[in-house]
Amino acid sequence: MAEWPRPAMAHRSALAMTHSARALAAILVDNVVAKGRSLSQLFDEYADELAAMPNKERSLTKALTHGALRHYPRWRVIIDEACDKRLKRSETLVRALLAVGLYQLLESRVPPHAAISETVNAARQLDKPWACSLLNAVLRRVQREPHTIQAWLRKTPWAMLDLPQWLWTLWKRSWPKHIQLLASGSNSQAPMTVRVNRQKTTREHYCRVLADAGIAAQPHPVAPDALVLRDPVEVNRLPGFYEGLASVQDAAAQLAGLAVAPQPEMRILDACAAPGGKTAHILEICPEAVVNAVDSDPIRLKKVEENLRRIGAKATLIRGDACHPDSWWDGQPFDVVLLDAPCSATGVIRRHPDIKLLRRLSDVTAVAATQKSMLQSLWPLVRPGGRLIYATCAVTTQENEVQIQKFIDLTPDARAVPLPWTDPSPLPTAIGWQCYPGWQFMDGFYYAALHKQTMPDTP
Ligand SMILES: C[S@@+](CC[C@H](N)C(=O)[O-])C[C@H]1O[C@@H](n2cnc3c(N)ncnc32)[C@H](O)[C@@H]1O
């Protein structure tokens, strides 16, 4: 059996639960908002405490944390207006607790009396008894005065859509007609999608296996190996997961395998490969393809190894910098280079709502410079007649169509060619294919395929 790390159970019974769901959610939200920490790291850090909670309490903690962060742009406006000068900026934990309370009151099915009283109780637990009356007053006012809240929010159209101002500005400029779709897609909960390993089973058969296990799923309309689950489940409940029958991967990410279109003996470079979702899919489509998987992060590269071992596939794994192939490339050109570039991740906010709080406009500019350098450094590795597939989970023109257009303008032997699926780009784009989060259950993703001409065109 593959040595996939199974969830650790050892500490569960040993640890006593120390915080209520509301209190722990507030701690997590505060760490993201005030200390700039990433939620996935925090969930790892608090794994023991979460594991010690009863299932319902653990799910509630995660739902409250995600919900408070997902709608934080709105909560920030309400907290500032409602608290006026009564709450110091430095009281970040109380602000986080208010966000948790507002989420329960305005976006969840928690009965209002429970939302208010449990949030107030959490303040005591967090050693903030002085904040109880403030929390009580603000939450009750929000409940009583919906028109006042609307009037506050109308002054900040980005907060009204639960977007950070910089992202609202970018999206409004690039896709003014789609701003509502972009916002509602980013604010919704993402479905769990699995990729069925076509070397081990078929999608139809695995769908029946899931149904027998009480897991309802439907085939994805665009990605041929994808099944969309009606409700998310723990990964260890997926039948045959440890034997490599299925992997968790968004349907948009699964289009990379189609774009690469691997063939036996085809030499493929997966240039930013970790944790290996796309490498694995390429090898499930065609195990005889010769894949080199490069990533600069040794810890993440280890994940590629684990993922490939679990599905029973082989690739050459290389720790290397995609901007400096001279330090790791053996000089043999590739038929296809997949560049799944590091990006702003603005297409996966629905899975990682902390991105709204952690990213800035300057991050988009910085990452676009890295992508440009990667494109330029990797293009010489493509053989004449070969292709480079460019992908990001970003929804910004700077990282996508503008990036690719500039690259083509500077690169005489690069031509954009169509992608192999027939659906037109869900968001208008001059070059490539850009979907928004929520389109056909997918994350926001961008793809472009570039063909290397055998000879530069003569003018
Ligand atoms: C979008 S993720 C790749 C996801 C992966 N393709 C998959 O499907 O599982 C981007 C990856 O780029 C890697 N990366 C960032 N800078 C890099 C560089 N200069 N050279 C190589 N890899 C880099 C990161 O470590 C990260 O694993």
Residue type, 148: T
Whether residue 298 is found in the same domain as residue 435: yes
C-alpha closest to that of 248 among 293, 289, 307, 305: 307
Whether residue 324 is found in the same domain as residue 235: no
Whether residue 350 is found in the same domain as residue 271: yes
Above pLDDT 70, what percent of the chain? Answer: 95
Instruction: Let me know if residue 8 belongs to a domain.
Output: no
- pLDDT recorded at residue 10: 36
Residue 7 has pLDDT above 70, yes or no: no
Q: Which residue has the tokens 């990006």?
A: 343
Residue 208 has pLDDT above 70, yes or no: yes
Residue 14 has pLDDT above 90, yes or no: no
Tens-place pLDDT, residues 369-407: 999 999 999 999 999 999 999 999 999 999 999 999 999
CATH number at residue 284: 3.40.50.150
Pocket test for ligand 1, best of 270, 272, 299, 392 (most atoms within 8 A of CB): 272
- pLDDT recorded at residue 36: 97
Q: How would residue 457 be classed by pLDDT, with cut points 50, 70 and 90?
A: low
Whether residue 224 is found in the same domain as residue 269: no
Q: How many Cβ atoms sit within 10 Å of the Cβ of residue 3? A: 10
Average pLDDT over residues 350-366: 97
Give the Cα separation of 179 and 184 in Å (integer): 9
Domain-ending residue, one of 217, 248, 279: 248
- pLDDT recorded at residue 325: 98
Instruction: Let me know if residue 348 belongs to a domain.
Output: yes
Q: How many domains does the chain have?
A: 3
Instruction: Let me know if residue 270 belongs to a domain.
Output: yes
Q: Quote the longest CA-to-CA distance of the chain.
A: 76
Reported as type and span, the H/E element at residue 94 is helix 92-107
Instruction: Let me know if residue 184 belongs to a domain.
Output: no
Enter the DSSP assignment of 393. Answer: S
CATH number at residue 27: 1.10.940.10
Tens-place pLDDT, residues 27-76: 999 999 999 999 999 999 999 999 999 999 999 999 999 999 999 999 99
Give the Cα separation of 182 and 169 in Å (integer): 12
Contacts of 49 (CB under 8 A, 6+ apart): 15, 17, 18, 19, 24
Above pLDDT 90, what percent of the chain? Answer: 93
Residue 4 has pLDDT above 70, yes or no: no
Tens-place pLDDT, residues 295-314: 999 999 999 999 999 999 99
Instruction: Let me know if residue 188 belongs to a domain.
Output: no
Whether residue 88 is found in the same domain as residue 237: no
Instruction: Let me know if residue 174 belongs to a domain.
Output: no
**Ligand 1 residue neighbourhood (C-beta within 6 Å):** 253, 272-278, 294-297, 300, 321-323, 340, 342
Residue 5 has pLDDT above 50, yes or no: no
- pLDDT recorded at residue 86: 83
Whether residue 233 is found in the same domain as residue 285: no
Whether residue 284 is found in the same domain as residue 433: yes
Whether residue 48 is found in the same domain as residue 137: yes
Q: Are 337 and 269 in contact (CB under 8 A)?
A: yes
Pocket test for ligand 1, best of 249, 285, 296, 376 (most atoms within 8 A of CB): 296
Give the Cα separation of 234 and 83 in Å (integer): 40
Q: How many Cβ atoms sit within 10 Å of the Cβ of residue 181? A: 17
- pLDDT recorded at residue 313: 97
Enter the DSSP assignment of 338. Answer: E
- Which structural domain, as residue segments, surrounds residue 370? 255-452
Whether residue 273 is found in the same domain as residue 375: yes
Give the Cα separation of 401 and 425 in Å (integer): 12
**Residue 342 CA, closest ligand 1 atom number:** 10
